[in-house]
Chain A
Amino acid sequence: MAENRIRVLIAKPGLDGHDRGAKVVAQALRDAGMEVIYTGLRRTPEQIVSAAIQEDVQVIGLSSLSGAHNHLFQKVAGLLEEKGYTDILLIGGGIIPDKDRKKLEEMGFDCIFSPGTSTSKIVEFIQDRVNG
């Protein structure tokens, strides 16, 4: 395990300032032995994708509570596809209606986690997909 730490980028796309969830998830993934880079607030989809490529991550986790998820999450998924990085595990969370969750999962997101999801579930999901 130790020689092969999973590398994760946790990112806040757009102007949303709610970062409690992003930071809690980042901390939980670190405690589970992953290497986590947190972007901080106000990142554009372009900045997020280029950071992910530069940092050579296996996982991108997006967080949005401002209602801009449809637009911004799709842009990230689109850019990853355009640049040929569809092997990166793409997950998200925040205030996201069920209808939008389904749409985003069809558009390339591996999972959209709803509020109340335990961090251990997120850890397991990532470990299963990346190592499994």
Chain B
Amino acid sequence: MTDKSGQDKLRQQLEEWRKGPLAGFQKRGWKETYTSYREPIKDIYTPLDFPEEKYLEKSGFPGQYPYVRGVYPTMYRGRPWTMRQYAGFASAEESNRRYRYLLEQGQTGLSVAFDLPTQIGLDSDHDLADGEVGKVGVPIDSLADMEILFADIPLDQVSTSMTINSPAAVLLAMYIALAEKQGVASDQLKGTIQNDILKEYFARGTYIFPPGPSLRLITDIFAYCSRELPRWNTISISGYHIREAGANAVQELAFTLADGIAYVKAALKAGLEGDDFAPRLSFFFNAQMNLLEEVAKFRAARRLWARIMDEQFGAENPKSKMLRFHTQTAGASLTAQQAQNNIVRVTIQALAAVLGGTQSLHTNSYDEAWALPSEESVRIALRTQQIIAHESGATSTADPLGGSYYLEALTDDIENKVEEYLEKIEEMGGMVEAIEKGYVQREIQKSAYEMQKRIEQEEDIVVGVNKYAHEEAAPDDLLEVDPRMEKEQIKKLQEIKKNRDEQEVEQSLNKLKETAEADENLMPAIVEAVKAYATLGEICGVLRSIYGEYQAPTF
């Protein structure tokens, strides 16, 4: 197939097929189809779309540049992905119980969901925390709460992912302090902090400080961890929420990689060596419904990042060029109607993540269009991953769909379209500027609105919503967070404040203030403050007083 005469012959026969058999059948029925980013899909894909002679350059082998076929040579035959269910609610006690339940059920890593006051650096007794404590995650006011959250969970034996952004340094400091109490050295700690502020400004909303100081906090963490926590993923550059906010697959990838580029530039500007911090960068993507397009997206992401790190930043260490990623199935695809259908949706999405070579995976629970998941629904979500891992055969060889003409064409197409976006963002002066101009927000909003219109015009079908709908009762065995939890948490906070050494707290906070003003690495001062049981709100309060708060424009 590689020689020119072979290609000509193929091209000719393809044309004949189009004019003959295809045209004949098209009269009986034919539908235009599109990718999520509205690119028309061809009638058929052939070796013309993925010529063999380009194989080595474009694909290579698993564990080798440009990593399209996976970041490790063995992939899932060496070790399955980490099964990691995002969880946390009500209180540290309740959440600890859920974690131990998930570990007993065969989960292999923890993923902590914090409540919104924690994510915004507010203590549970703050006015703005009213009604929010313990709702979408666990409330953490001080190290005392972390001690309860990880009770009976040895930190040298689990890897822990924490979805925390603006106050990531504080929660990481608490984890380090907790490990010390358990007698675990910080170089033994394995896990991830999300620590990805840029997407908070345009897709997720838990920002505190303006971009400048936020980027400093992030690069301080990079520098500190490269010395003290060599096995820690210092950031999880997240497309997940960008997609949830309404972006298509290309936008998800483009804006995520543009964020990644901004972090690399910030770290280099702060004087860090690329190959010191880049191997610990990790990513987080969404798995939506379009199975093959999503697989192509994951593959394109790996090739793009490898090329960016190699060509744009001149990375030497192969690990700096490997895009390792976590995946979560798409929350926005879950329907409130006929909620059990969501089990099937999650299965397809999880399969896309696995066929796309994910390093860890969270599967959503079927009842999440109604509430936080119940224990039963979480178990089914975890079992879904276990069925894929053990029964489906999807793990038998690396990148099993590689070489599919359609998939390879999609991988190339997504790569090209992402590069167009990246160039445009570069022309604007980079991602921070693109966000400040509202460009990114408007692009996402436009996609979200168009998607909704297609559903309402029944161009896109959502089973149980705009087709095959029927009357049914809403599920009634939902998880409820007891509103009394908030009062309990505030009482706990007051007790901690009563029993700590106030002088020590004050000294540590003063030291933190000096460090922040002096432009030194903030991490050691934050670790000292959390050890003195200074609260999250107090620590972030000191930083707020120096850095100010981000005021979001509305678009």
**Distance of A119 Cα from B455 Cα, bound (Å):** 10
Give the docked Cα–Cα distance between A98 and B474 (Å): 6
Contact A41 B332 (CB under 8 A): no
Asked if A97 contacts B478 (CB within 8 A), the reply is yes
Cα of A99 to Cα of B246 in the assembled complex, Å: 28
The answer to whether A40 touches B554 (Cβ under 8 A) is yes
Say which residue of A38, A41, A71 sits within 8 Å of B483 (CB atoms).
Answer: A71
Are A16 and B116 neighbours in the complex by a CB distance under 8 Å?
yes
A-B contact pairs, 30 of them (CB 8 A): A14-B128, A15-B116, A15-B128, A15-B129, A16-B116, A16-B136, A16-B205, A17-B204, A19-B245, A20-B332, A24-B246, A40-B553, A44-B127, A66-B136, A68-B116, A68-B131, A68-B135, A70-B483, A95-B368, A98-B370, A99-B476, A114-B336, A114-B474, A115-B334, A115-B335, A115-B336, A116-B335, A116-B369, A118-B456, A119-B456
> Which of B139-147, B401-409, B444-452 is found at the contact surface with chain A?
B444-452
* Residue B538, interface by CB 8 Å: no
- Which residues of chain A from 82 to 121 have a CB within 8 Å of any chain B CB? 95-99, 114-116, 118-120
With A20-B332, A95-B370, A95-B371 already in contact, the answer to whether A71 and B130 are too (CB < 8 A) is yes
User: Quick one: closest B residue to A16, CB to CB?
Assistant: B116
Say whether chain B's binding surface is mostly helix, strand, loop, or mixed: loop
**CA–CA, A98 to B337, complex, Å?**
12
**A-side contacts of B455, CB under 8 Å:** 118
Counting CB contacts under 8 A, is B132 at the interface? yes
Shortest beta-carbon distance from A22 to chain B in Å: 10
The CA-CA distance from A14 to B480 in the complex, in Å, is: 19
A15 near B117 with CB under 8 A, answer: yes
Contact with B along A114-130 (1 / 0, CB 8 A): 11101110000000000
Is there contact, CB below 8 Å, between A40 and B448? no
Q: Does B462 sit within 8 A of A, measured CB to CB?
A: yes
Name the CB-closest residue of A to B446.
Answer: A27
In the complex, A18 has a CB within 8 A of chain B: yes
- Per the bound structure, the CA–CA distance linking A98 and B336 in Å amounts to 10
Q: Could you tell me if B369 and A23 are in contact, using CB atoms closer than 8 angstroms? A: no
B135 touches A67 (CB 8 A): yes
Nearest-CB distance from B220 to chain A (Å)?
24
How many angstroms from the CA of A115 to the CA of B462 in the assembled complex? 12
Residue among B128, B130, B481 with the highest chain A CB neighbour number at 10 A: B130
* Residues of B near any A CB (own CB < 8 A): 116-117, 119-120, 127-132, 135-136, 200, 204-206, 244-246, 332, 334-337, 368-372, 445, 448-449, 452, 455-456, 462, 465-466, 474, 476, 478, 480-481, 483, 552-554
List chain B residues, Cβ under 8 A from A5: none
Please tell me which one of the listed residues A24, A66, A115 contacts residue B135 in the complex, with CB atoms under 8 A apart: A66
Chain B residue contacts of A40, Cβ below 8 A: 552-554
Is the CB–CB distance between B370 and A97 below 8 Å? yes
Most buried by A among B204, B332, B478, B554: B554
In the complex, whether A51 has a CB less than 8 A from a CB of chain B is no
Chain A CB within 10 A, most for which of B131, B132, B369: B131
Q: Are A23 and B445 in contact (CB under 8 A)?
A: yes
In the assembled complex, A79 has its CB within 8 A of some CB on chain B: no
- Asked if A28 is at the interface of the complex by the 8 Å CB criterion, the answer is yes
How many Å lie between the Cα of A70 and that of B369 in the bound state?
16
Q: Within 8 Å CB of A57, what residues of B?
A: none
A41 touches B336 (CB 8 A): no
Measured CB to CB, the nearest residue on chain A to B207 is A17
Q: Smallest distance from the beta carbon of A32 to chain B beta carbons, Å?
A: 12
Contacts of A97 in B (CB 8 A): 370-371, 474, 478, 480
A77 at the interface (CB under 8 A from B): no
Bound together, the chains give a CA A9 to CA B417 distance in angstroms of: 37
A70 vs B445: C-alpha distance when bound (angstroms): 28
Contacts of B449 in A (CB 8 A): 23-24, 27-28
